[in-house]
Amino acid sequence: MKNSFQKLVINDVHENHRLDRFVEEICDLHNITYEYFGNILLAVSEAAEVMFSINTHEMGSSLNVSFEKCAKGLMFKMKLNETMGDQNEDEDLLEREIRRHRLGRDLYIIKSLADELEIGANGKGITLIFHVTSINFEKSLGRVQLLKDFWEKEKNVIHEN
């Protein structure tokens, strides 16, 4: 099995349109259905927002997003790349609690949509894995149902004549 590997660098959370296009092209390339595409796009977008929100105090940070097709399925790795670390120790306690609450909500969404989620020990990296091996099974079940419906309709037409 030949693995495909692609990479994208995002400099700001406002460049999420580039990330959306990146995910869309990957899903098109690997024939991912709309149901899986929506899950993948939302989880990857939320993960990017989490990475930027965790490190809002670091100016000049960029996010490296890499994709790899592996045996388990589709794997997206995100790693924050700091260029100029300027720690803001004067962060308000309320702002910190609001950010922590949002982080918990966002991580819940990501865990619900991705099949596997790994978070780096220092919070600088997230890996999302989406199992796509069952897609062909779902397609085959749908095709079997369509054939059954067709033959039932055909039997009814023959018996009426």
Q: pLDDT by residue (tens digit) across 13-58?
A: 788 899 999 999 999 888 888 878 989 999 999 999 888 877 655 5
* 137: enclosing H helix or E strand: helix 135-160
Q: Is residue 92 part of a domain?
A: yes
Q: Is residue 53 part of a domain?
A: yes
Picking from 80, 86, 96, the residue whose alpha carbon sits closest to that of residue 59 is 86
Number of domains in the chain: 1
- For residue 56, the domain's CATH number is 3.30.565.10
pTM: 0.71
For 33, 73, 78, 105, 113, the CA distances from 139, given in Å and listed in that order, are: 10, 17, 31, 33, 20
